[in-house]
Amino acid sequence: MLHTPFAAPPARVTREGRLVRIEPLEAERHAEDLWGALDGHERVWDYLPYGPFRDFEAFEEWLEGREKLADPLSFAVVDQSNGRARGILTLMEIRPAAGVIELGNIVFAPVMQRTPLATEAVFLVAEYAFDELGYRRLEWKCNAVNEPSKRAAQRFGFTPEGVFRKHMIVKGRNRDTAWFSMLDEEWPARRAAFRDWLSPDNFDAEGRQIRQLREFTAG
């Protein structure tokens, strides 16, 4: 089907979910919470082009620089239960004329990893990209040896597309990059799967999932 792709550039908006809130990253508001959740967990920075940071001051200075950028456009992930920032994610490689955008530079504190909060954060950003901004392709890229990130991409419904060899140099090392994508025609089914999985009905009294996300995305 031929069409003229067009999407709007993302803005510094706030997205409210049941478990998390996505809001524009601001060092003054989020640095202390994020440092408290990330300090001592250096491995979260292993595959990123920055970090770990020697102290709070260095981390805060980095955040101040990030909040000024339009691409990548950074958001804090705030736990609705306590109002504390527990992660960062960005919209990046933004190409409105082509209708292509990437969800990347994800830093989730261990307390947030592998929890419904992480899943809802990804859902809220994907929903924003597809439903409000009109993108036709949402990308996910990671180091080809980053197995947790690759598993997460496929769990969230991204399709693997292959590996770009020696795609970039990160922290002085060659990086092969694994590419994944989700398309606009796939999004309605993915959106329904996210909503069904995130429903309170899908969790027992102890907060354990009843059905896995891949059960909702199968087929």
- The string of pLDDT tens digits covering residues 41-60 is 999 999 999 999 999 999 99
Q: Give residue 3's pLDDT.
A: 57
Strand runs labelled E in the chain: 15-16, 20-24, 73-79, 84-95, 100-108, 137-143, 159-170, 173-183
Q: Tell me which fold the domain 15-217 belongs to.
A: Aminopeptidase (3.40.630)
Q: Give residue 152's pLDDT.
A: 96
Mean pLDDT of the chain: 95
Q: Are 109 and 78 in contact (CB under 8 A)?
A: no
Q: Which pLDDT band holds residue 195 (cuts at 50, 70, 90)? A: very high
Q: Which pLDDT band holds residue 155 (cuts at 50, 70, 90)? A: very high
Exposure letters 133-152 (e unless 16+ CB within 10 A, then b): bebbbbbbbbbbebeebbeb
Tokens of 17: 């979910």
Least confident of 34-38, 80-84, 185-189, 212-216: 212-216
Q: Which pLDDT band holds residue 214 (cuts at 50, 70, 90)? A: confident
The three-class DSSP label of residue 199 is coil
Q: Are 153 and 142 in contact (CB under 8 A)?
A: yes
pTM of the model: 0.94
d(CA 102, CA 98): 12
Tell me the domain boundaries of the chain.
15-217
pLDDT at residue 63 is higher than 80: yes
Q: Give residue 21's pLDDT.
A: 98
d(CA 6, CA 156): 25
Per the listing, tokens 């979910």 go with 17
Work out whether strand 173-183 and strand 137-143 pair parallel, antiparallel, or are unpaired. Answer: antiparallel
Average pLDDT over residues 173-196: 97
Which has more pLDDT, 1 or 123?
123
d(CA 102, CA 178): 13
The CA–CA distances, whole Å, from 136 to 7, 54, 131 equal 8, 40, 10
Any idea how long the chain is? 219
| Element counts in the chain: helices (H) and strands (E) | 6, 8
